[in-house]
Amino acid sequence: MSTNLISSGTTAREKVNLRTPDVMAAVQQQVESHYCSDIVEKVRRAGGIISVGDTTVRLAKQFGFCYGVERAIDLAYAARKVFRDRRLFIVGEIIHNPEVNHQIASLGIRNLTGKNKQADISDLGPEDVVIVPAFGTELAIQQQIKDRGCQIVDTTCGDVMSVWKRVRKYASESATSIIHGKAEHEETKATSSRALGDGKGHYLVVLTLADTDYVCDYIRQGGDKQTFLERFKGAHSPGFDPDVHLQTVGVANQTTMLRGETEEVQRRIQRAVIDRDGPELAEKNFRFFDTICGATQERQDALRELLNVEMDLLLVVGGYNSSNTSHLAEMGEEKLPTYFVLNASRLVSATEIKHYNLHEKREVVSHFWLPNGPAVIGITAGASCPNNLIEETLIRLFELRGISRQQLELAA
């Protein structure tokens, strides 16, 4: 798929190339001024380790913006430059990072999605430009925007579109898509809409291994249909019937889930189908495909490697509604004290830190988080976190250890 030509809805409008050299040169300069970090790049080139006094910080080998996020941001900035005299809108957040979304809003790009998370397109017309975010959007919403003749700037990540291709194939084969993900997440909603195929396909979203085991029990021995539907309310296709639509299934996933957990979902469902049908028939009634995002996996692998090093604590930087960042925090929590922080402002003092509690799903305050004496601290960030926020966190961390920015810059 071309990343250069932007479609214009149902009108016969000429396609527009946003990636001309002059536009992209201006975009690159603007993006770098907003999101880049000299300190982080220097630390990376030095092997990801910086030590000043008795404080050592180790950066994961892979963190921060991935290609898909960079591309989405570049296209949004380019759209503002090319369509400078037209109204620009975006369906939801371009990525899950509040600082980046604030920057997008500062360009005059208005979010169509309100507090109820439903896109309001009632005011759109043919002269308006609508950006589809990196997660993609639901088919029905995209079609409504096209029907209004809007210019569409589609920044959907290629990895997400690979999942769409897979679930459409499942639908064409009358296989129900069992999607490992968060039913309320924009990407999973977009994928679910594609899993309907031509309208005859079905989907079921499972989040946890407990959800998976419940489905597996139903595959093996059936159960109470209404209880099943109530448990997965809001997480299945219209007209879904577990007695019918669990006969032939294919597993897919939200691209930012933990690979190991998705693989376990696949194994458990496959085992259940084999137990029900026997190995030969199960070959026809179960299918799966690896649809974990490469960048997500790289960041998980890099953190796994970092966690093999002895450290006192881990900071995970990024938006609290970022799925891939949340999974990094989960991985850290299994090994050592881990604090999931939105940005440097959450490092309040050497004795107080504000961070997101994944279990309580809210920001909490912890005390006496920073060790006295020599300390080794790890830092990583999700694919939606820009380097400038990592730099600010790094600077703040060293400040709390009595080390100035100037000392830090000299050491980097």
pLDDT digits (tens, 9 = 90+) for 223-249: 999 999 999 999 999 999 999 999 999
Contacts of residue 120, defined as CB under 8 A and 6 or more positions apart, other chains included, come to 112, 113, 114
Q: What pLDDT does 9 receive?
A: 43
Residue 187 a catalytic site member: yes
Q: Which CATH architecture has domain 159-292?
A: 3-Layer(aba) Sandwich (3.40)
Under 8 Å between Cβ of 175 and 287: yes
Residue 338 to residue 328: CA distance in whole angstroms = 10
Q: Give the dihedral of Cα atoms 77, 101, 41, 379; nearest 10 deg.
A: -160
**Which residue in the list 93, 99, 187, 391 is annotated as catalytic?**
187
Identify which of 347, 394, 396 has the alpha carbon closest to the alpha carbon of residue 37.
394
Ranges of CATH 3.40.1010.20 domains, the chain = 37-65+295-411, 159-292
Q: Which CATH architecture has domain 37-65+295-411?
A: 3-Layer(aba) Sandwich (3.40)
Amino acid at 371: P
Q: What is the pLDDT of residues 322-356, one digit of tens each?
A: 999 999 999 999 999 999 999 999 999 999 999 99
Residue 1 has pLDDT above 80, yes or no: no
Say whether domain 67-157 belongs to CATH 3.90.1640.30: no
Q: What are phi and psi of 88, to 5 degrees?
A: -115, 135
Q: What pLDDT does 17 receive?
A: 87
Q: What is the mean pLDDT of residues 41-50?
A: 95
Q: What is the pLDDT of residues 80-114, one digit of tens each?
A: 999 999 999 999 999 999 999 999 999 999 999 87
Q: Is 185 exposed, middle or buried (0-12, 13-18, 19+ CB in 10 A)?
A: buried
Q: What pLDDT does 6 receive?
A: 56
Residue 2 has pLDDT above 50, yes or no: no
